[in-house]
Amino acid sequence: MKNSILVFGILISLNLFGQELTKKELKYIPKDFNESLIQLDKVIQDTTRAKIKLMSEDDFITQTHFSTGMWIRNYWLYNRYVFGLIVMQSDLRKDLILKGLYNNDDMSGVILRSYHRKLKGNDVDLEQQIKDIHQWYVNMNDPKWRAEQDSIAWANHMKQFNIGDTIAQHIYYERNWLGEPRKDNIIIAEIIDKTEKKIKIDIVSFGEETERNLVYEEIECDSIDCWISPYFWKNINDFEE
């Protein structure tokens, strides 16, 4: 089951090595799906476990895909090679392939989703999870379904932006062709109009940037009629400097 790419995950920092475990226990790679849930529970701190219980299932999956999910993919699911030869195969990956999962992203997602359900006392329902993933790939071959999902995702995303709101974004760009370090600048703007997928803004602050044309170029608007995609923008109340 995939999450919309328009959902912006604020990666929660799971301190995986906070428990009192030996090096051998920390390095242990689960041999099958059931062991993966047991091992994940061992390495996650009690305080983090409590936070996870307060999160919705989809929020947990989205916000851990590039943190704990990446850790699972890198350390539990990849085969190890030396000079092009496999020296260690992931038994966990083999087990998940036999269960009908073939992509490492799907595998880590199922492990995380199942862990969340187990932590909340809900039915893991692994079989249905795998069916949902297979159906997602079938649906992705249907242009009409993809268009509908894109429309739903944009509608949900645009709910956070209202005319009159103040928004902000970090922008990064090369200062010039000489290759000076990338510049980090915070731009603050007010929303003055919106459509289904775009917002019109009036820039309130260019931060420390004096060459304003660089800012307009970076956010892909002109100085007169600045309609932009809000993809990387956040409401000022949710913005982290």
pLDDT at 54: 92
Q: How confident is the model at residue 146 (pLDDT cuts 50, 70, 90)?
A: very high
Q: How confident is the model at residue 35 (pLDDT cuts 50, 70, 90)?
A: very high
What whole-number distance in Å separates Cα of residue 85 and Cα of residue 75? 18
Percent of the chain that is helix, strand, coil (3-state, to 5)? 45, 15, 40
How does the average pLDDT of the chain come out, rounded?
Answer: 84
Over range 29-58, report the average pLDDT.
92
- What is the share, in percent, of the chain residues with pLDDT greater than 70? 83
Q: What angle do CA 4, 182, 173 make, to 5 degrees?
A: 55
Q: State the CB neighbour count (10 A cutoff) for residue 74.
A: 11
Interval 163-222: pLDDT, tens: 999 999 988 766 555 555 566 789 999 999 999 999 999 999 998 888 888 889 888 988
Beta bridge partners of 199: 194, 228
pLDDT at 223: 82
DSSP annotation of 142: -
Over range 72-95, report the average pLDDT.
79
| String of DSSP letters for 103-116 | -HHHHHHHHHHHHH
Assess whether pLDDT exceeds 60 at residue 6.
Answer: no
Assess whether pLDDT exceeds 70 at residue 61.
Answer: yes
Please give the model's pTM, rounded to 2 decimal places: 0.64
Domain ranges of the chain: 23-156, 166-238
What whole-number distance in Å separates Cα of residue 9 and Cα of residue 60? 9
Interval 93-127: pLDDT, tens: 999 999 999 999 999 999 999 999 999 999 999 99
DSSP three-state, residue 41: helix
Is residue 77 packed enough to be buried (19+ CB in 10 Å), middle (13-18) or exposed (0-12)?
Answer: buried
Assess whether pLDDT exceeds 80 at residue 3.
Answer: no
Q: Which two tokens stand for residue 192?
A: 């003055």
Residues 6+ apart with CB under 8 A from 111: 33, 36, 37, 40, 72
Q: Which amino acid, 168?
A: A
Q: What angle do CA 21, 25, 26 make, to 5 degrees?
A: 80
Interval 8-30: pLDDT, tens: 233 334 445 455 667 777 788 99
Q: State the CB neighbour count (10 A cutoff) for residue 208.
A: 9
pLDDT at 141: 93
DSSP annotation of 170: E
Total residues belonging to the chain: 241
Assess whether pLDDT exceeds 60 at residue 87.
Answer: no
